């Protein structure tokens, strides 16, 4: 049977006092797969349970806490380097997700791993921003002509950039969803309402409501939910923090979702943070968010999918339908991202042409960059 110890512990840390060594071992595995070992270390100590963790497993949590602390400081330093690289461009640089949490020392940054840095800049300045970053050592990681065209024409970001020396990865966004997506949040409004980071020139973060909405949109439009629980924990932390600071936060959040055309992601965010992590969401707020959710029949299906996909990506948390649920959400994410007349050719290209191109490249042949060239090469291979 599926046993999600990690989610249980996130809701009720005192549950750890009754764990057997077998359960501790399973918890370490689940938390490792979910990238939440560092968060658990802080959770234990915040609840006076640090000494309750058995010695044989304690080092896992302590090592993760040290690593996440170094990650946080590295992200802060890297953000300043990005600001310096773009100083002459003179545009606001809005840090997104983990980098924003770290720079503002939000609770969501505590014990969190940071794999890359995401920034949002105005679309008209995108070319200048990319050129300035190139001069400072940031260069594209996707060299395939098709991938470059795909990102630049359809997506909400440049192809990922990697620094030549430091090997850190930077995603430069000009909006938060692909321009072909069904939902169309206004990035100009997000940048306009962004909040300057104290003591940092030209560095900003999204407003509290937009920060939650972006996190929700990222999670519930992403088809790869292997680390979905980690992102749900981020959402839980953001909602708790901002609602405690501002009694009117929930009302402003619902209103902002309407303005930004993000009612559906907000509904899912409130629904599943409350259901899985017991996030305190007032009943009247859930009532206000409900019209943005799916209809009755679809709601049952989505609940079945998300309650499976948002568990730790570990065999102990799976049942016979978990794999199907994750596959269906992966297909859904592509459906939400692009209309069928664009999506089908793209998927065919990635499923057929890309593997063939990699095979040809392995033979030191010229890369294939379009379907016509692909068919010509197929015919040439047959003649050989």
3-state secondary structure the chain: CCCCHHHHHHHCHHHHHHCCHHHHHHHHHHHHHHCCHHHHHHHHHHCCCHHHCCHHHHHHHHHHHHHHHHHHHHHHHHHHHHHHHCCCCCCCEEEEHHHHHHHCCCHHHCCCCCCCEEEECCHHHHHHHHHHHHHCCEEECCCCHHHHHHHHHHCCECCCEEECCCCCEEEEECCCCCCCCCCCCCHHHHHHCCEECCCCCCEEECCHHHHHHHHHHHHHCCCCCCCHHHHHHHHHHHHHHHHHHCCCHHHHHHHHHHHCCCHHHHHHHHHHHHHHHCCCCCHHHHHHHHHHCCCHHHHHHHHHHHHHHCCCCCHHHCCCCHHHHHHHHHHHHHHHHCCHHHHHHHHHHHHHHHHHHHHHHHCCCCCCCCHHHHHHHHHHHHHC
Confidence tier at 374 by pLDDT (50, 70, 90):
very low
In terms of pLDDT, which residue wins out, 350 or 307? 307
Average pLDDT over residues 96-107: 95
- What percentage of the chain reaches a pLDDT higher than 90? 70
> If 0-12 CB within 10 Å is exposed, 13-18 middle and 19+ buried, where does residue 14 land?
exposed
Mean pLDDT check: name the lowest of 88-97, 134-143, 311-320, 325-334: 134-143
Q: d(Cα 345, Cα 347) in Å, to the nearest integer? A: 6
Average pLDDT over residues 149-175: 87
Confidence tier at 12 by pLDDT (50, 70, 90):
very high
In which residue are the tokens 């209809």 written? Answer: 295
In terms of pLDDT, which residue wins out, 63 or 363? 63
Average pLDDT over residues 273-299: 94
Average pLDDT over residues 93-101: 95
> CA distances (Å), 177 to each of 3, 11, 18, 23, 337, in order?
34, 31, 44, 40, 8
Predicted local confidence at residue 158, as pLDDT = 85
Decide if 173 contacts 190 (C-beta within 8 A): no
Confidence tier at 382 by pLDDT (50, 70, 90):
very low
Decide if 121 contacts 93 (C-beta within 8 A): yes
Confidence tier at 119 by pLDDT (50, 70, 90):
very high
């Amino acid at each position: 049977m599926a046993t999600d110890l990690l989610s249980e512990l996130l809701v009720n840390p005192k549950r750890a006092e009754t764990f057997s060594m077998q359960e501790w071992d399973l918890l370490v595995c689940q938390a490792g797969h979910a990238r939440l070992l560092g968060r658990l270390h802080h959770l234990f100590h915040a609840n006076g349970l640090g000494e309750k963790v058995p010695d044989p497993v304690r080092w896992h949590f302590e090592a993760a806490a040290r690593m996440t602390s170094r990650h946080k400081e590295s992200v802060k330093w890297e953000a300043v380097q990005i600001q310096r690289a773009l100083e002459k461009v003179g545009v606001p640089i809005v840090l997104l997700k983990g980098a924003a949490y770290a720079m503002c020392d939000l609770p969501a940054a505590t014990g969190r791993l940071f794999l890359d840095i995401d920034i949002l800049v105005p679309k008209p300045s995108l070319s200048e921003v990319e050129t300035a970053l190139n001069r400072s050592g940031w260069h594209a990681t996707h060299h395939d002509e098709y991938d470059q065209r795909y990102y630049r024409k359809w997506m909400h970001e440049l192809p990922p950039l990697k620094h030549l020396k430091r090997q850190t990865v930077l995603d430069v966004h000009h909006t938060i969803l692909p321009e072909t997506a069904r939902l169309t949040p206004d990035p100009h409004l997000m940048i306009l309402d962004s909040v300057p980071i104290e003591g940092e020139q030209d560095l900003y973060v999204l407003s509290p409501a937009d920060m939650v909405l972006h996190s929700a949109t990222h999670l519930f439009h992403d088809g790869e939910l292997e680390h979905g629980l980690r992102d749900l924990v981020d959402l839980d932390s953001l909602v708790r923090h901002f609602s405690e600071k501002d009694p009117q936060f929930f009302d402003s959040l619902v209103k902002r979702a309407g303005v930004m055309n993000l009612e559906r992601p907000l509904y899912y965010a409130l629904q599943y943070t409350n259901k899985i992590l017991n996030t305190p969401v007032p009943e009247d707020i859930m009532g206000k968010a409900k019209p943005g959710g799916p209809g009755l029949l679809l709601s049952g299906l989505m609940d079945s999918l998300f309650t499976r996909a948002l568990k730790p990506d570990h065999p102990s948390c799976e049942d016979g339908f978990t794999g199907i649920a994750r596959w269906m959400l992966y297909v859904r994410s592509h459906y939400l991202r692009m209309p069928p007349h664009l999506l089908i050719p793209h998927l065919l290209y990635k499923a057929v042409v890309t593997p063939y191109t990699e095979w040809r490249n392995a033979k030191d042949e010229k890369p294939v960059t379009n379907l016509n060239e692909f068919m010509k090469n197929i015919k040439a291979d047959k003649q050989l």
